Structure 1
Amino acid sequence: MQPRFLGRLGVADTVTATNAAIGFAAAATAAIDPGLAARLILLAAIADGLDGVVARRLGGTDVGPLLDSLADVASFGVAPAVLVYTVASNGDAASISTPIALAALAASALYVAMAVIRLAIYTLEDSNRAETVGVQTTLSATLVSVTYLAGIGKPAVLVALVAACSYLMVAPVSYPDLYARDAAILGGLQALAVAFPVAFNRVLPRSLLVFAVGYLVLAPVAYWRAA
């Protein structure tokens, strides 16, 4: 018997499903190697951008937008939350009673909930628009990952970051989609940060962090597309 989905998914959907698988790998490895988990989240972000390129070139399917949001829950909702909680608790279940671990548990759980809500609303209202309301889950996950890879991801910093992103993902602020050229630059920088996270005193993840923070702060007022 053939799988039910055979013939209903396109190439772009396969890339999207790969994104979800990478997100699981990031969550699964967080307790063993948080640095690897952070790099896998960035790799998932590359796949998330690539599926849109493939869909525009080869065509998408009706299931594509829904599949994309489901994959993003794994890669940019659950995986960053697990990373932050693991770092805050030192991967030790016995430390769950410490204040920072409890704060990380609460903030990470809230982050996942807000990511799910944001993605559901995005799929319903924003998936066919050139901008979206609230900070993208991809951007939030990138901020968490590169903050850790940049060497400034102390537990308190990461907990504060996921708490802030929990609000920003559902904040009533519009963010435009990146131009293709800027998305390509971002994807290239993400790939370099994945491949060489500690090269030249961590310059690549730190550069990516500057890029991400710049977009976070300036995009709503300084990056709008021409009418």
Structure 2
Amino acid sequence: MGFDVRRRLSVADTVTLANAVVGFAAGAVAFTDLQLAARLMLVAIIFDAVDGIVAREGESSAVGPLLDSITDVISFGATPSLFIFVALTGTYGGVGDTSPVVVAGLTLLAAVYAVFSVVRTAFYTTYIEGADARPGIPNTLGVIILATAYLAGVTNPLVLAGGAVVLSLLMVSPFDFPKPGARTAIPMGVVLSVSVVAPTAFGRAGPRVMLVVALLFLTLGPRYYWE
């Protein structure tokens, strides 16, 4: 029996695959332009949100959840790790000008985010049932914080790496985090879009507002946001 790809992939799956393409592009671009990479990571977030909306409207498929999990590992696990890696090695003049021992150490440090994102995705897919059980921060929230922080002017590699380690641990924490409802997701989508299209406009207002919102959701969401 053949794969019969055209019949088995839904509209939502197409959006998911577009997310994977954007996530890969962000990882590749990171080696030459970290700001563009951060913007592309936010585009991947938007694709992920649209994917969920389309799937809930009935345009899903049997393979959709698995595709979504695999794409999460690419766009919200491997790509932000590459982003951190390039930021760290950039302080030494780039990979070519850095000691192999240092490169190895920085690689391990950057890989922490990818590893924890993979673990969270695997555990969530395997063990979590029901919309009300959401332990650990979503890996999408971690990416929003990292990308908007960079676009907002937080470019110190050690600060970004330290933040990534904290977010990595929070991804597998026992704390339940809510999923933003429509009344929050739509305004967040608007601010995300502004952060992508015009990240430096009005004193970097878009990414700075989005970063504040994301941090508030991170710290206060588990206690106060539940709908």
Give the TM-score band, short-chain normalised. over 0.9
Q: Tell whether the 8 Å contact from 1:103 to 1:159 is kept in structure 2 after alignment.
A: no
Aligned residue in 2 for 1:81: 81
Structure 1 position 46 matched with structure 2 position 50:
no
The alpha carbon displacement at 1:104 in A equals 3.9
Aligned residue in 2 for 1:6: 6
Could you give the per-residue CA deviations for residues 106-146 of structure 1, whole angstroms, max 9, x where no partner exists?
22211101100101111123364134110110001111111
SS for the counterpart of 1:135 is coil
Aligned residue in 1 for 2:96: 94
Aligned residue in 2 for 1:71: 71
Query: In the superposition, relative to structure 1, how do residues 100 and 132 fare at CA in structure 2: closer, same or farther (>3 Å)?
Result: farther
Greater Cα offset, 2-11 or 157-166: 2-11
Aligned residue in 1 for 2:170: 168
Aligned residue in 1 for 2:126: 124
Q: Distance in 1 between matches of 2:129 and 2:198?
A: 33
Percent sequence identity is: 39
Paired amino acid for 1:70: I
Paired amino acid for 1:107: L
TM-score (norm 1): 0.92
Q: Tell whether the 8 Å contact from 1:114 to 1:170 is kept in structure 2 after alignment.
A: yes
RMSD across aligned positions (CA): 1.9
Query: In the superposition, relative to structure 1, how do residues 4 and 108 fare at CA in structure 2: closer, same or farther (>3 Å)?
Result: farther
Q: Tell whether the 8 Å contact from 1:81 to 1:109 is kept in structure 2 after alignment.
A: yes
Match 1:216 to one of 191, 215, 218: 218
The alpha carbon displacement at 1:206 in A equals 0.4
Aligned residue in 2 for 1:185: 187
Could you give the per-residue CA deviations for residues 176-216 of structure 1, whole angstroms, max 9, x where no partner exists?
11111211111111111000000111111000000100000
TM-score (norm 2): 0.92
Aligned residue in 2 for 1:31: 31
Q: Distance in 1 between matches of 2:98 and 2:66?
A: 35
- Listed as ranges, the gaps of 5+ residues in structure 2 are none
Query: In the superposition, relative to structure 1, how do residues 104 and 221 fare at CA in structure 2: closer, same or farther (>3 Å)?
Result: farther
Query: In the superposition, relative to structure 1, how do residues 224 and 143 fare at CA in structure 2: closer, same or farther (>3 Å)?
Result: same
Kindly report structure 1 stretches of 4+ aligned residues shifted beyond 6 Å.
Answer: none
The alpha carbon displacement at 1:98 in A equals 9.0
Q: Distance in 2 between matches of 1:30 and 1:51?
A: 24
SS for the counterpart of 2:196 is helix
Paired amino acid for 2:13: D
Aligned residue in 2 for 1:149: 151
- Listed as ranges, the gaps of 5+ residues in structure 1 are none
Aligned residue in 2 for 1:106: 108
Q: Tell whether the 8 Å contact from 2:95 to 2:103 is kept in structure 1 after alignment.
A: no
Paired positions, count: 224
Q: Tell whether the 8 Å contact from 1:23 to 1:74 is kept in structure 2 after alignment.
A: yes
Could you give the per-residue CA deviations for residues 47-106 of structure 1, whole angstroms, max 9, x where no partner exists?
001111111123321211111111011111011111111011117113443998665422
